[in-house]
Structure 1
Amino acid sequence: MDEAISAARPVDRAGWGRALLTGGVLAGPMWVTVALAQGLTRDGFDFRRHPVSVLSNGDLGWVQIANFIAAGLLCVGAAVALRRVRHPGLGARTGPWLIGQYGAGLVLSGVFVADPLDGFPAGTPAGPGEVSWHGLAHFGAGAVAFTALIAACLVAGRRFGRRGERGWAAYGVGTGLFFAAAWLALIGSGGHPAAMIGFALAVVAGWTWVSLTLSRALRGAA
């Protein structure tokens, strides 16, 4: 009986690992779908003027708060699984740590709500408005998540390059540099509409990279 239980444990761990990686793969599509649906339907929201973070305000703000926290926890779970699954790009330490940091930053972005901004939610005065302590904490959480995502892309790109996998290497480096450039453009422009759209596209690109990279790890865990 004891031998049978011992033999089953590795299988159980593998099953949990696959479940956690699957959650990480689905985190991006879930986050993007929920954010896009809200952005297109909530009164007063405009992707050219508002970051997705402000959707955490108003009567339906709990939806985006839950979106941040759920996606973040799924990424943290995937990071835990990556410690047991060999991944040629993410490795066993640095990559999982960065994916986990990205997830933790997302969770904190949900806990600390961004301030209302430029007419959203409805009734908010036009303009940038005042920044509260939780608004500052939200910016800090975003910085934690974004720097981790950029670093994960670049680390994976370098590791894939060393293996001679040029396509994956270029994809990782390209995604990381695109995200970094879009983020800096958003900050430098003070929220110019073109920069807002560019950053929104960078967020989608970053989530796509996370999903595809974790999908490769999931195949390796089969």
Structure 2
Amino acid sequence: MNTLPLTLAGETLHLTGSGALIWPDRALVCVSDLHLGKSDRIARREGRMLPPYETRATLARLTDAVAGADARTVICLGDSFDDLAGQDALDDEDRDTITALQAGREWIWIEGNHDPGPLTLDGTHRAEVRLGALTFRHIAAEGASGEISGHYHPKCRLPGSGGGRPCFLANRDRLILPAFGAYTGGLACTDPVLQRLMPHPSVAVLTGPRPVAAPMPRGAVPAHGPPGSRARLPGMR
């Protein structure tokens, strides 16, 4: 598995090209913003019928990530469902896939703004969770350190790379995960909200066949950074 390591609050974490985070010392996988059942929610609320395949595609990617890391613990970092009714709309095959993924593992559902309450599925349901020096929550808190969050679906565009790609955003204080769901949009990392949360120096790690690190763009500064710059993840020497 191709990963990029970083150090956050003294812990070594690995960023994968799929958008999953691996914490090897705890055999833990963390993903954010699955948005399962999004097509169902759009049909219920807007009357637009979309192909209902994003849940199955997302669960297939999650199965690969969990199996590849031989995970004993899984944290879903909020907005696991596009709304609370989405869990009731799961068909039997998708529900069975989640049950099989949970078997023999500690499974933690973090509340998000789309699913702000306990799910009826098995697992532990938490507003946030602290493990050692790291805190896992859905939305980044101002001034936090040792924090892992999601919510913003960050994307980054590098010259010659086409459209923006989902990315991790990392610095010495916090890590923001990309959306893991197959049917999710994204927020450019040049957006003022992300610029404020991730001050210089911060790094964008683009997902794809291989995770690629680059300096996080700063407004008019080119995405590849100033001449002679090199992307450095926290903890790199």
The reply to whether TM is greater than 0.5 is no
Larger Rg: 1
TM-score (normalised: structure 2): 0.23
TM-score (normalised: structure 1): 0.24
Larger RCO, structures 1/2 (Cα 8 Å, 6+ apart): 1
